[in-house]
Amino acid sequence: MEYFKVRSNKGNLIKGPLIIKPKIFLDYRGYFFESWNQSEFNHIISRQVNFVQDNHSESKLGVLRGLHYQLNPKAQGKLVRCTKGEIFDVLVDIRKNSDTYGEWYGIVLNEENKLQFWIPEGFAHGFISLKESSEVQYKTNEYWDKDHERSLFWKDDELKIDWPIEDRNGKFKILINDKDANAPKLNQIEESGELL
């Protein structure tokens, strides 16, 4: 298993998130890889994490989910992977005392590269499906909690997230629910004090 640190849209190293690349064993029968190992994961991130919930979603082409986060004391860390299709996965640093506050990072996750994305507490997270059907599975270290869940507007002009929202024929339609479409921008979240 290899892992890589990430740099924000401004080129700054973001403390905490990691890209994890599993060791894949290929032969004439197919492939095998270890998708989860508690001991190795805790060693890589230098802390003890206990995952309590697994989530699995299926999204059509153009479905955008996020940007989601949970307030303390229910903040979630997530270990994300795409097991079918392809997504563009994004995090935004919303840790008010972070050097990279308000900066973002995005990566393509798909069934071919089998990469996993560790997103610790303190980040808003979302993704867009780039295929007709994309399945995303992720572990969380805190249960979903309706009273603590929040959203950050995916198209906030200040964030300038470079979402890949074009296909070969031009732009494709974004499919998004009302809650995410009407989410507050970062400056509104700052004013409300709902940061991590």
CATH fold label, 2-192: Jelly Rolls (2.60.120)
Each of the 196 residues of the chain gets a pLDDT tens digit; together they read 899 999 999 999 999 999 999 898 989 999 898 888 999 999 999 999 999 999 999 999 999 999 999 999 999 999 999 999 999 999 999 999 999 999 999 999 999 999 999 999 999 999 999 999 999 999 999 999 999 999 999 999 999 999 998 655 666 789 999 999 999 999 999 999 888 7
Global pTM reads 0.92
Catalytic residue (one of 31, 138, 143, 148):
138
Catalytic residue (one of 28, 31, 68, 125):
68
User: Does residue 67 have a cis bond before it (omega within 30 degrees)?
Assistant: yes
Query: Is 138 known to be catalytic?
Result: yes
Q: Give 136's contacts (C-beta < 8 A, 6+ positions apart).
A: 55, 56, 57, 59, 80, 81, 82, 83, 87, 109, 127
Domain ranges of the chain: 2-192
